[in-house]
């Protein structure tokens, strides 16, 4: 029996004993996604993770993802214990959008609706009128635009630019980016397309505009997985975190998936198609989270919770 198998067996027992459930994002490592599936938990995009945790009957939710996902779970179900394998798992969008600066930016444009991406702190969510994830952002901005609203968008400038282009909405942007998606390279992707002319290109909209322009399908992690299933192509070039390959390969075993290039020849990148914070959710950390939740439990300031819940519920009701 391998060490990994031993970890998995102990985690399964602990999940049962403690009435806990494991919820994992598509960007976590394949063994973590498999474990969540085997134990009755779920593997999902950030919107579905929030919904799953909110309706599940477990006392403890183990959130294998990044900090904002744990906070969202706590905001939605404050009566539950929300634990993360590590609270150090943050997100460059969250880090790049501190509440004081963001709030001052919003104060300069009081006539605009504040729409923020879910990849933000509870404080930023509380300052927002609307929360969106990449799976519902387009529809929500379309709706606001149709009502004549002008928008402050934060923090992801690439997702914002994509939505602005699609909807024509009046948006002013915060200057944030995802360190993983920002690394995809246009010239190298064009070369790869030329090498595989029959491949469809799937792109997460946190990628730069020149990458999005080369896409056959653009969407949230769940939407990209759906595209892999429904498009007739046998080959796909995928511009998002490589964690997503686990589910794509599982659902489409006969299809072939290639990682979109993150660096030109000879170049290096800090986070080549894998989020360093998602990667912190290992088996050891999950077992430790179940054995000693102290220091791993997620808490949200109750004053912030009320405001964050209001804007989160707007999103959940809208996209129900
Ligand atoms: P999804 O909402 O598409 O799962 O994306 C979350 C995320 O962090 C992407 O980098
Ligand atoms: Fe944040 Fe990018 Fe990691 Fe997603 S992949 S959690 S946006 S840093």
Class of domain 181-259: alpha beta
**Would you say 25 is a known binding-site residue?**
yes
Per the CB < 8 A criterion, the answer to whether 217 and 224 are in contact is: yes
**pLDDT tens column, 60-74:** 999 999 999 999 999
Residue with the smallest CA separation from ligand 2 atom 7 is 178
Which of 125-129, 270-274, 305-309 is predicted with the least confidence, judged by mean pLDDT?
270-274
| Fold designation for 3-89+278-300 | Rossmann fold (3.40.50)
CA-nearest residue for atom 5, ligand 2, is: 275
Model confidence, pTM: 0.96
Which protein residue has the closest C-alpha to ligand 2 atom 6?
91
Alpha carbon of 301 to those of 87, 90, 126, 308: distances in Å? Answer: 16, 18, 11, 10
pLDDT in tens, 278-311: 999 999 999 999 999 999 999 999 999 999 999 9
| 164-185 pLDDT per residue, tens | 999 999 999 999 999 999 999 9
- Cis check for the bond before 109: say yes or no (omega within 30 of 0): no
On whether 36 is known to bind a ligand per the annotation, the reply is: no
Per CATH, the number for 93-177 is 3.40.50.10800
The secondary structure of residue 272, as a DSSP letter, is: S
Q: Does the predicted interface ipTM exceed a cut of 0.95? A: yes
Considering the chain, tell me which residue range(s) the CATH 3.40.50.10800 domain(s) occupy: 3-89+278-300, 93-177, 181-259
> Nearest to residue 243, comparing CAs of 219, 277, 266, 201?
277
Identify the three-state secondary structure at position 82: strand
Distance (angstroms) between ligand 2 centre and the Cα of 206 equals 9
């Amino acid at each position: 029996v391998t060490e990994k198998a031993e970890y998995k067996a102990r985690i399964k027992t602990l999940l049962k004993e403690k009435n806990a459930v494991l919820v994992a994002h598509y960007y976590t490592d394949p063994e973590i996604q498999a474990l969540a599936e085997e134990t009755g938990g779920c593997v999902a995009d950030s919107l579905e993770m929030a919904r799953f945790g909110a309706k599940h009957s477990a006392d403890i939710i183990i959130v294998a993802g990044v900090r904002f996902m744990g906070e969202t779970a706590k905001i939605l179900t404050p009566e539950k214990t929300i634990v993360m394998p590590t609270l150090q798992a943050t997100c460059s969008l969250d880090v790049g959008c501190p509440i004081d600066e963001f709030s001052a930016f919003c104060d300069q444009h009081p006539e605009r609706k504040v729409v923020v991406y879910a990849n933000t702190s509870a404080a930023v969510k509380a300052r927002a009128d609307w929360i969106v994830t990449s799976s519902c952002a387009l529809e929500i901005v379309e709706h606001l635009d149709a009502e004549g609203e002008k928008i402050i968008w934060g923090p992801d400038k690439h997702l914002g630019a994509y939505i602005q282009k699609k909807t024509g909405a009046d948006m002013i942007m915060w200057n944030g980016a995802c360190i993983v998606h920002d690394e995809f390279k246009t010239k190298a992707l064009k070369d790869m397309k030329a090498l595989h002319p029959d491949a469809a290109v799937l792109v997460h909209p946190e990628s730069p505009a020149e990458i999005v322009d080369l896409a056959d399908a653009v969407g949230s992690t769940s939407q990209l997985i759906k595209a892999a299933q429904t498009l007739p192509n046998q080959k796909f070039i995928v511009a998002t975190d490589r964690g997503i390959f686990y589910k794509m390969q599982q659902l489409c075993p006969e299809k072939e998936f290639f990682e979109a290039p993150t660096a030109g020849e000879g170049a290096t990148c800090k986070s080549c198609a894998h989020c360093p914070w998602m990667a912190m959710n290992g088996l050891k950390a999950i077992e430790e989270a179940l054995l000693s939740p102290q220091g791993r439990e997620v808490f949200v300031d109750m004053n912030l919770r009320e405001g964050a819940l209001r804007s989160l519920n707007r999103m959940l009701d809208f996209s129900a």
